[in-house]
């Protein structure tokens, strides 16, 4: 199993917290960091825009990514939300074991990963 770090921007704290809790409760991500204070400058529909956003940094597995992506796309208020996955080249053996034990490929397996903190 390979680990991924995923990125997703959100328009508000309520949306960010709802998405973060939803994917962790569904065991699609082991941990989600909610990073406030992000300023995004982007082109949309032919115009350059600038918005305050929050960034979700999600830790998951390649096997769970399709279900994670589907969940984020279905629950996100944006028409075209940022949902990116980056491979993890290396990491602490203990953290990676905890990550893999805390994520399922979309089926609920309650109680997994509860022994170690993120």
Residue-range domain boundaries for the chain: 3-102
Pairing of strands 84-87, 3-10: antiparallel
Quote the pLDDT of residue 105: 74
Question: Does the pTM of the predicted model rise above 0.85?
Answer: yes
* Residue 1: HSE in the Cβ half-sphere, 13 Å Cα cutoff: 19
* 44-98 residue pLDDT tens: 999 999 999 999 999 999 999 999 999 999 999 999 999 999 999 999 999 999 9
Class of CATH domain 3-102: alpha beta
């Amino acid at each position: 199993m390979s680990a991924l770090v995923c990125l997703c921007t959100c328009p508000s704290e309520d949306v960010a917290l709802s998405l973060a809790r939803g994917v962790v409760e569904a065991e699609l991500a082991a941990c989600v960091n909610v990073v406030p204070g992000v300023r995004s400058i982007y082109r949309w529909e032919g115009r350059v825009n600038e918005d305050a956003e929050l960034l979700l940094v999600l830790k998951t597995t390649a096997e769970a990514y399709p279900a994670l992506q589907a969940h984020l796309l279905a629950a996100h208020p944006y028409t075209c939300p940022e949902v990116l996955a980056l491979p993890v080249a290396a990491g602490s053996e203990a953290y990676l074991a905890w990550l893999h034990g805390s994520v399922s490929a979309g089926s609920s397996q309650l109680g997994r990963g509860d022994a170690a903190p993120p």
